[in-house]
Structure 1
Amino acid sequence: MDTSEMNRRAVWVMEEWDPFAVGKDHYDAEITEVVAQLQLLDHPSDLAKQIQGIYRASSEKWIPLENCVEVSYKLLALKYEAKCII
């Protein structure tokens, strides 16, 4: 899997997440920021904190860190899958 495929899959994971139950088409800016952070971060807690901050900044609503950790593991699994394919 190349980086562009990883990014497409990451976008799909984030679209399906819908933490505020407002519909998956309402998070384009947040998803773009999260995917950018995915390129930089390798630890689930670090990525989860970034996800929490991104969504809080845009909506002024708080998401429990545990929920963000769950999605961060899914995203990082994609990243490691992309790195490990020979």
Structure 2
Amino acid sequence: MNLKLMDKLQSWDPLGYGVDSYETEIVDVLQAVHVVNDISQLARKIQAIYEFSFEEIIPLNTCEKMAKELLVIKNSSSCDL
């Protein structure tokens, strides 16, 4: 699951700096995905993480789309023992 989440985030370039520009933010968003289960809450968290680092605001609807995709990955993954 974490690898799928990482792949999704690593291919996202919300501010146009290049996909290799967000390593720290990806780790922070991954942590948030494990804690937050609400799309709106996660979207606001994603927006805040990137705003803190780059002092630019990603539109909330863009963050909501990513939050939804991340939560789908999280909720569709199962841990088979």
TM-score class, shorter-chain normalisation, is over 0.9
Count of residue correspondences: 81
Structure 2: unaligned runs, 5 residues or longer = none
CA RMSD, aligned part only?
A: 1.5
Q: Please report the TM-score for the alignment, with normalisation by the length of structure 1.
A: 0.88
Listed as ranges, the matches of 1:1-86 within 5 Å are 6-83=1-78
Identity %: 35
Q: Comparing both chains, which one has the higher relative contact order based on Cα–Cα distances under 8 Å and sequence gaps of 6 or more?
A: 1
TM-score (norm 2): 0.93
Stretches of structure 1 that go unaligned for 5 or more consecutive residues are 1-5
Q: Give the letter for the 1:47 counterpart.
A: L
Q: Could you give the per-residue CA deviations for residues 2-21 of structure 1, whole angstroms, max 9, x where no partner exists?
A: xxxx1111111111110011
